[in-house]
Structure 1
């Protein structure tokens, strides 16, 4: 999109592009999402940015009306396989907060200077600024929706110190943390919840466009491994719960299925919505990482408008898209776990959990274990196909983290004994979040690119392919 087209998008308040770009107003010093309901500024006063971090770096503060920092992430980062796309997925996973820019660069196979240069050239912000914007958003959400102490929020958001937290909040929102909490939207003030270990941290996971929650929850219920996952409740109002292994500890997450049609974003031309979630974490520093992994699992950063437009133009898929607009291609909460489960099968996965999984200090309903780490499985059962995979994952021969090169990962998987092309394709689709995978033996034409993974989901939902 050129800038004139972007401006027309702002004039029409088109929510399809929320998160795809941002605009700022020179006269007010504020940046917004395209669907902001405020009066449209004059064209000569508007600047456009690829990321919220770039707008913040240019001295603009976030609009308190449209909350541009809360939009779903750009779908480009899921589609792109280049270094910028891989870097953005890693930053979303909290790698910069944990390992710094040097760690990010090492995972990408580039120097820190090269990564800084490429991100700044394309996105207008480097990895530190991008991670800072992500931390600021997490902090705002926690300040306005929970009663967590400010000090706890600082560290849960990924800040290294309370001073850094205070300085960043002032710079991004032109308010102190206490002032930001006091100016929460009415819904945030009235629904702010006490955070207890049992209840967890309540969050809303935003998505753009329509969202076929039923299909996602059906898949999760079908795949659930006892002890690690459960899906409870009647269709339309189900809750998915699972344990997670995270960088600093473990967690239990719960996500609710939202019944009915998505709610409209105020002032926007197109609907959007959210999934309600609750996170119980042994270490609050894992919050950003846990949220990012849930977003990938539920495919919340997808662009359903682009997917449905391309697939809906196909004669075979048109009725399927019309029946399920906004159908998602779910990812994985733990890529390594998914790969092991895909190769081992459900019965074997349950056995591995019972025998080698980490037992929770306190069971939560039917959740009793965390899925065993690859290194534990590789040492315990090195023989057979799962042992070859877990050994390769433990040794780093196969990388499935958000910044992994998808082609390299698939080639490494196929070199393992017992790994077939269909399982490798499933791992590429789910664990690596590739939106354009054609499973072997399935008639998936090139005209469905770059959304062939979504086309496969439509065929499965319609009963034309097995799950």
Structure 2
């Protein structure tokens, strides 16, 4: 987009571009999301920024009406596999806060100077400014939803000092922390946890996503409770500083899903939110997906029937890889049973059970030396699982949000017992690749047959083949045929 087309999006208050770019107004010193309901400023008074951090660095404060810091992330970072896209995913996961810019650069395989240069060139802000923007948003959530003392909020959000925290909040919001908290004073920081809204862009087909997660829910780690239309997905999370129990509702208001997090360490709030966003694919661009797949004569009816269908990711790459190996050559139900046995035998118990949630998914280090006899599966697959977890534990294979997708797929296929289906499934879900196709999958073959299509037709669905997969799986599960069927 050029600036003129961006201004047209602002003039029409087009929510499709919320999070894609930000609008700053010279005369007011405020930056907004494109869909801000305020009166459209004159073209000569508008400047555009690729990130909220860049607008803040230029001296603009967030609009209190449209709250641009709460928009979904740009879908571009989900699609892109280059260094900038990988860096953005790692920053969102809190790597800069925990490991500094040097840690970010090390994970990307670049020097800190190169990372600074590339991010500044594309986004107008370096890794420190981008991480600072993330911390400010985490602080705002804590101020608005908990009754924690402000000093505790500062350190829980990742700030190095209270002074730095106060200065940042005043610069970003033009308010003191006390004023951000407002008259309500938040709620007590107890077992009720932190309640927030997970924003998404455009339509969201929550029903199929919750169906997908419910069929794969592992006893002790995950559960889906409630009736369809009002379900709640609950799971445990192993996080950098501790653990959490997360709850996400099937339906919220327009553009968001309700969420509640009970954290053992509030410093994990931002990381937990980003991992849930990846699991529910909340930063996707459903408009771009629909434009491409909906125009296909075979897929079009399925796309229109499940508008806004997402491609669920994962909260932890290592967990997803283990689950993929357990699912080799067996049904979804059988894989779920095997995963339940694995968790019961090796999962770390929670200090206190929460409903049906009792354990964390076992870490790769715990599984690498485990006998795995409890699983009752063929010796070759047990050995494959041990080979995978050993590679994950010693760092030979890295599945963090910034991992290089092509490299990871090659490394996985080189492990004994892992083939293209497993590597592709991990690439799609653990690494969030939107363009994976699994032609050997039984459900995919069934879905293609119902559509009267072949695997060769999948080339027409680039760069959104992962979403096409979910439509095919859904068609296979329901026996849906489309007008594209022949013969």
Q: What band does the TM-score fall into relative to the shorter chain? A: over 0.9
CA shift, 1:348, in A, is 2.3
CA contact (8 A) 2:224 2:231 kept: yes
Alignment map for 1:388-427 (pairs within 5 Å) = 388-427=387-426
**Distance in structure 2 (CA, Å) of the matches to 1:462 and 1:195:** 46
Counterpart residue number, 1:453: 466
Task: Please state how far the C-alpha of 1:196 moved relative to its aligned partner.
Answer: 4.1
* Conserved? CA contact 1:459–1:465, under 8 Å: no
- Is 1:341 matched up with 2:341? no
Residue deviations 1:368-419 (CA, integer Å, cap 9, x gap): 1101100110022386111000001001111110000001001111111111
Whether the 8 Å contact between 1:312 and 1:318 is mirrored in structure 2 is yes
Q: Secondary structure at the match of 1:319?
A: helix
Q: What is the CA distance between 1:328 and its match in structure 2? A: 0.4
CA drift at 1:141: 2.3
Q: Establish whether residue 316 from structure 1 lines up as the match of residue 329 from structure 2.
A: no
Label 1:460 to 1:195 Cα distance change in 2 as closer, same or farther (>3 A).
farther
In the alignment, structure 1 residue 370 sits paired with structure 2 residue 363:
no
2:287 to 305, 330, 342: 305
Moved more, 456-465 or 73-82: 456-465
Q: Which residue of 1 aligns with 2:132?
A: 132
Asked if 1 retains the 8 angstrom alpha-carbon contact of 2:145 and 2:187, the reply is: no
TM-score by length of 2: 0.90
Alignment gaps of 5+ in structure 2 = 327-334, 373-381, 445-454, 480-487
Residue 465 of structure 1 deviates from its aligned partner by: 9.2
Structure 1 position 139, deviation (Å)? 1.4
Q: Number of residue pairs matched?
A: 448
**Per-residue deviation, 1:226:** 0.3
Residue 196 of structure 2 is matched in structure 1 by 203
Provide the secondary structure at the position in 2 that maps to 1:230: strand
Equivalent pair of 1:225/1:346 in contact (CA under 8 Å) = yes
Q: CA deviation at 1:160?
A: 1.9
Choose which of 312, 320, 332 in structure 2 pairs with 1:330: 312
Give the C-alpha shift of residue 293 in structure 1: 0.2
Deviations 1:144-174 (CA, angstroms, capped at 9, x unpaired): 2333322222122221222211110011111
Q: Say if 2:258 is the partner of 1:258.
A: no
| 1:56 Cα offset (Å) | 0.3
Q: 1:65 to 1:410 in 2, by over 3 A?
A: same
Contact 2:196–2:258 (8 Å) recurs in 1: yes
Report SS of the residue matched to 1:133: helix
CA contact (8 A) 1:158 1:288 kept: no
For residues 156-201 of structure 1, the C-alpha deviation after alignment (integer angstroms, 9 at most, x for no partner) is 2221222211110011111110112228xxxxx5xx7524432111
Matched, 1:350 2:340: yes
Give yes or no for contact 1:21–1:34 (8 Å, CA) kept in 2: yes
Q: Indicate the larger mover: 319-328 or 348-357.
A: 348-357
The answer to whether the 8 A contact 2:311-2:470 is kept is yes
Match of 2:351 among 352, 361, 370: 361
CA–CA distance in 2 between the matches of 1:239 and 1:83? Answer: 36
Match of 1:50 in 2: 50
Query: Where do 4+ consecutive residues of structure 1 move more than 4 Å?
Result: none
Structure 2 contact 146–189 (Cα < 8 Å) conserved: no
Higher mean C-alpha deviation, range 136-145 or range 35-44: 136-145
- 1:25-40 counterparts in 2 under 5 A? 25-40=25-40
Residues 1:463 and 2:445 aligned together: no
Checking the alignment, whether the CA contact within 8 Å between 2:147 and 2:189 is kept in structure 1 is no
Is 1:195–1:201's contact at 8 Å kept on the other side of the alignment? no
Which among 274, 286, 291 is matched to residue 292 of structure 1?
A: 274
CA deviation map 1:90-110 (0-9, x unaligned): 000000000000000000000
SS at match of 1:384: helix
* Structure 1 Cα separation of the partners of residues 32 and 259 of structure 2: 25
Q: Which residue is equivalent to 1:215? A: 208
> RMSD over aligned Cα, in angstroms?
1.5
**1:99 alignment counterpart:** 99
